[in-house]
Structure 1
Amino acid sequence: MPSVVIAGGGLVGSANACFFGQKGWIVDVYESRFDPRGNHMENGKSINLALGVRAMSTMKRIGLKEKVIHIGVPIRDQIAHFGDTKGKLKRLPVLNDDDFILTINRQELSQILINEAEKYNNVKFHFNCKATKFDLKSESLIVQNSDNLSTVDGDLFLACDGAHSSIRRSLLKAPGFNFSQKYSEFGYIDLSVNSTQQCDLKLGTHYSWRRRGIILVAIVNKDQSLTVSMFATFSEFESNLVGPVESVLFFKNNFYEIFKILGEDHIRNTIARNKPQAIISVQCSQHVFFDKLVLMGDAAHAMVPFNGQGVNCGFEDCLVLQEIMDQYEEDELEDVIKEYSKVRTNETNIINQMEWDVNLTLTSSVHGSLGWIREIRAHIKLLLCFIFPSSFTLAAFSREKYSEIARKAQIVEKCTSLFTNVFIVFIISVISLFWYCVLAVLWAN
């Protein structure tokens, strides 16, 4: 049987292991970290995953959809608070009445995928073994285990080792490979708490609080724990979360509802223990090398998390590869890889840029002026959503091509600009006419 070597045993790597395990391939997964099924927790570094149609379609093909839904929490409603304005309960902007976003703990999902993959005797995970680089000359993977380096060969190599991919770094000398990365002005910190006694927040609702330069998100889990993630510009973190005492006062004065739930001790201890994490965006000009190595997930297209497409896009990478393999014979692997590159590279770069544009919108709302124009544009876009579903809705609740979503978004943007300009001209005309009449009356008198 053919063999596949997977660098990275996270979500995308484990999903690939499930797929190739089902096909009977010999699968070896090399993961630099510990086995996530142990008692280790990465406090302060993880955000609850938001699984839409793309991710759930992947889970369905693996055979885990119902199990994942049982563990996660379907989100159908949202309450967004802006400044001191109290939010109202609203339905998520879905395509179909039964659509939802499934929120699930990252580590729990990782455990499920690894357990599923290991059901197949042909799948083996090598934990605490780091895939350090891809050797361009021998076209093989170099793996480090303790102090030893070894060379691993295979018919197919999948680099799923995350945003700071060692495999991608080793490819920088490959001819024609262009790579770029940029950091968001926003960072994040996890403030999740195990107990939510006397909590008024409801299961199945996405809560958010927004102030200038700050977004606080809260979701109730099935065990009644509360996942709380704070996104803010690093200047806000430096100004307001300098230390534990200042952090407590900041939450008490600005997010009192969450402050009551988290409590002083939890806020103080969390801020003292964890630092804000950076958010990176990565784009690659190509995802396929030597017709046998494929960059996938964050290794190929790490993106900012504000619309939750990172994990969905990563899982869809796995699904698209399998769908293409269904169209070819087993000995046509080179053709499969070429087709994957043709189908997927541009699509993922498009959604990556769309997600970055959301980041720029958030940044401009912090630094920009003319907020009233943004308000007008936002209201016009909201009205247009009745005709054209938003990019978020199409990306989250369908598997429509990202390129097609971007095309529709451009149409909406042009319509928004047109209607905004017409509205502004109308307002200016009304004001001008008013003052003309006033001056005419004064002149007549």
Structure 2
Amino acid sequence: MPTVIIAGAGLVGALNACFFAQRGWNVQVYEYRKDIRTMAHVQGRSINLALSQRGKSALEAVGLREYIVNQGVPMYARLVHNKDGKTYSRQPYGRPGEHIVSINRRHLNEVMITQAEKCPNVKFFFEHKVKNVDVDKGSITVQSLAKVSRIPRPGQSPPRTEDTTEQTIQGDLIIACDGAYSAVRRSLMTFPRFNYSQEYIEHGYVELNILPKSDEFALEENVFHLWPRGHFTLIALANKDKTFTVTIFAPFAEFEKHMSNTTDVLNFFRENFPDAYELLGRDHIADTFSRVKPQPLISLKCAPHHFGDNILLMGDAAHAMVPFYGQGMNCGFEDCLVYSDILNQYPMDIPRSLKEYSRVRVKDAHTINDLAMYNYEELRDLVNHTSYKLRKKFDMWLNRIMPETWIPLYSMVTFSRIPYSKVVENRRWQDKIVSRFNKIICTSTVVGVIAVASFAAYRQKIPPFNKF
């Protein structure tokens, strides 16, 4: 059977291992970190994940959907908290029953690694750093990070570190799932006709936690809690252990100006998120901001996603995005499913399958990157605008009447597998219809006003009716 080399044992790498294990391929996964299942604390981003239809479909293909969904907390709506800390509004995500699932990143990763390892043809190599890739040879260079004893055995010379820790590995297929700062992608930067762009947005984030209250959820658990405040926002997602992961997103300038010391950050939270402030607690807020610096957010695009005859980029290595549409993981999981379907079409032709993957996936990846950037504006501000609320109600009303014809933007992204690029095309068509409808309404209103005014003027010219 063919051998697939996977760089990275994160979410997308581990899921890919499950897909190829099902095919019976020999699978080798090289991961920079230690085995997270043995670690007390895993460094890195832990923003809770929102599992939606695209991710569920990929998990279903490897038999993990039901288990994973049951490990999460369903969310049926946004709960928008007003600044007074007492009132809020509810905005359902879709039709009754449609929901996303708040899931713990680490647990999901651990489950998929364990699932893949059940197959004897899968091998994970932790503490192995992928350094680069050779397109011509179709190989990667990997360095073992495990400590090597330099004490010579009797009658032997001390081992040469470079000989014992670094090796070149070849496979029939190499898939880079090694994240936004991918070593594989970095080594391809000089490859002819490889287009690449990245952007650090002017906003960062800090994570906090709300603990259970009397051993129960301190907030309503089956909603996405949102505190939109114009140019910054706070969100909270429930966890299975009855805690909430809370994240504040704000411009770095805002962090520096209003959250750089304990007094300022406490005043900032008390003023802007009074209800969340009470649940978080002043000590937790103060301690978190004294230890943690705001983390950056990157948006990354590249094209193509394949190189040579056997190298492919997936997940954040190909399309890292800001987290505001909850599609980073879902898009990465769908990458695995899309390529699996393409391999079914070309089972004996890896080069052709890679070209086809780039052809169908690059445009969609670029599209969801742009949508994720747009959705931040929605989360931090637009959800409070009357025009936004009216459009959402209008979309839901038409969706009830024509469920197959008129699907709201959020529903297309979150509750379907309509290609992202097609989602945007459909939305443009909807916007044209709405624009024409608005023109008709405006024209009718103007005509009505003119008619009423004309009739009133006419009545003023008619002499009063006199009785005989």
TM-score by length of 2: 0.84
- Residues 1:357 and 2:357 aligned together: no
Q: Deviations over 1:305-364 (max 9, x none)?
A: 1111111110000011111222233x222222222222212221222222223346678x
Larger of the two Rg values belongs to structure: 2
CA distance in 2, matches of 1:190, 1:328: 44
Match of 2:123 in 1: 124
Corresponding residue SS for 2:33: coil
Asked if residue 379 in structure 1 is aligned to residue 351 in structure 2, the reply is no
Question: 1:290-305, aligned counterparts within 5 Å?
Answer: 290-305=308-323
Aligned to 1:271: 289
Q: Does 1:92 align with 2:110?
A: no
What's the CA shift for 1:134? Answer: 1.0
Aligned: 1:281 with 2:299: yes
Given candidates 169, 173, 177, the residue that maps to 2:186 is 169
Q: Is the 8 A contact 2:320 2:328 kept in 1?
A: yes
Residue from 143, 152, 168 that aligns with 1:151: 168
Comparing 8-17 with 250-259, which one deviates more in the overlay?
250-259
Report deviation, 1:415.
Answer: 4.2
The one-letter code matched in structure 2 to 1:35 is D
CA deviation profile, 1:40-86 (whole Å, cap 9, x unmatched): 32467311100101000111111111110121111113311243372
Instruction: Return the offset for 1:420.
Output: 6.2
Q: CA RMSD in A?
A: 2.9
Partner amino acid for 1:386?
Answer: W
What TM-score comes out, normalization by structure 1 length?
A: 0.88
CA distance in 1, matches of 2:30, 2:42: 19
How many angstroms does 1:220 deviate by? 2.4
Counterparts of 1:169 and 1:361 in 2: how far apart (Å)? 33
Checking the alignment, whether the CA contact within 8 Å between 1:376 and 1:420 is kept in structure 2 is no
Structure 2 residue runs without a partner (length 5+): 146-160, 399-405, 452-468
Aligned-partner SS, 1:326? helix
Partners of 2:204 and 2:438 in 1: CA distance: 32
Query: In the alignment, which residue of structure 2 is the partner of 1:11?
Result: 11
Distance in 1 of aligned mates of 2:410 and 2:396? 11
User: Which position in structure 2 is the counterpart of 1:310?
Assistant: 328
Q: Once the 2 structures are TM-superposed, how far is the Cα of residue 189 of structure 1 from its aligned partner?
A: 1.3
Q: CA deviation at 1:293?
A: 0.6
Match of 2:2? 2
Distance (Å, rounded) in 2 between the aligned partners of 1:426 and 1:187: 47
Cα gap change, 1:294 to 1:429, in 2 (>3 Å) = same
Whether contact under 8 Å (1:380, 1:420) holds in the other structure is no
1:193 to 1:150, Cα distance in 2 relative to 1, 3 A: farther
Asked if 1 retains the 8 angstrom alpha-carbon contact of 2:226 and 2:236, the reply is yes
- Alpha-carbon distance in structure 2 between the residues aligned to 1:354 and 1:117: 32
The CA distance in 1 between the partners of 2:166 and 2:360, in whole Å, is 35
Give 1:249 shift. 2.2
Contact between 2:310 and 2:351, CA under 8 Å: does it hold in 1? Answer: yes
Q: Alignment length, in residue pairs?
A: 427
User: What is the CA–CA distance in structure 2 between the aligned matches of 1:412 and 1:187, rounded to whole Å?
Assistant: 33
User: What CA deviation, in whole Å up to 9, does each residue of 1:374-399 have, x standing for no partner?
Assistant: 64365345424433332221110011
> How far apart, CA to CA, are the structure 1 residues paired with 2:438 and 2:169?
58
In the aligned structure 1, how far is the partner of 2:138 from the partner of 2:44? 37
Distance 2:291 2:224 in 1: 26
Structure 1 portions without partners, runs of 5+: 434-445
Q: Which amino acid aligns with 2:102?
A: T
Q: Distance in 2 between matches of 1:431 and 1:382?
A: 27
CA contact under 8 A between 2:138 and 2:171: conserved in structure 1?
A: no
1:5-404 aligned within 5 A: 5-42=5-42, 45-84=45-84, 86-94=87-95, 97-146=96-145, 148-197=165-214, 200-329=218-347, 331-359=348-376, 375-376=386-387, 379-380=390-391, 382-387=393-398, 388-404=406-422
Would you say the 8 A contact 1:380–1:419 is kept in 2? Answer: no
Percent of residue pairs bearing the same amino acid type: 39
**8 Å contact 2:135–2:311 — kept in the other structure?**
no
Once residues 361 and 421 of structure 1 are traced to their aligned partners in structure 2, the CA distance between those partners, rounded to angstroms, is 25
